[in-house]
Amino acid sequence: MIKCEDCRAECCREVCVEMDAPETIEDWDILRWMVAHENVAVYIDDEDAWLVEFKTKCRKLNDQNRCTIYKTRPKICSEHPVDNCVVNADEPAEKLRFDTLEQVEKHIEEVIKPKLLKESQKQLEDLDKWKFS
């Protein structure tokens, strides 16, 4: 486990916001738009939550990776568990990660389109079971 004096302050260099999993074509288009921006990524964490990550350093982090407002830091910072640190993790924190528009588009081509085609085919097969006169 990393010691405080060896901390690289990884958690102080990003803001992550949970989002709904994309379900529609419009949702995937919004995801494409998000990752087209600099320093923005979207990933699924090890608990299956979808998150938007904004790579941006905390203004209160100094050059030695120390918090300049440590005693009055936000509650989310003080409650961040050391064992949940990406540096201390036993496994990767992300199951799936998109850093670029091209990565999203490749995923859509290889995973989402085949899934949608399969679902559409199933619906058509169910519809064919109906006997129209």
pTM of the model: 0.81
Residues 30-84 have pLDDT tens digits of 999 999 999 999 999 989 999 999 999 999 999 999 999 999 999 999 888 777 6
The residue type at 51? L
| Confidence at residue 20, expressed as pLDDT on a 0 to 100 scale | 98
Count of domains in the chain? 1
Query: Among candidates 51, 92, 93, 69, which has minimal Cα distance to 12?
Result: 69
Residues 79-123 have pLDDT tens digits of 887 776 766 666 677 899 999 999 999 999 999 999 999 999 988
Domain housing 8: 4-100
* Chain centroid offset of residue 120 CA: 28
Flag whether 118 is in a domain: no
First to last CA, the chain: 71
What is the rounded distance in angstroms from the CA atom of residue 22 to the CA atom of residue 31?
A: 8
Flag whether 60 is in a domain: yes
Flag whether 87 is in a domain: yes
Query: Among candidates 2, 8, 3, 16, which has minimal Cα distance to 66?
Result: 8
Flag whether 122 is in a domain: no
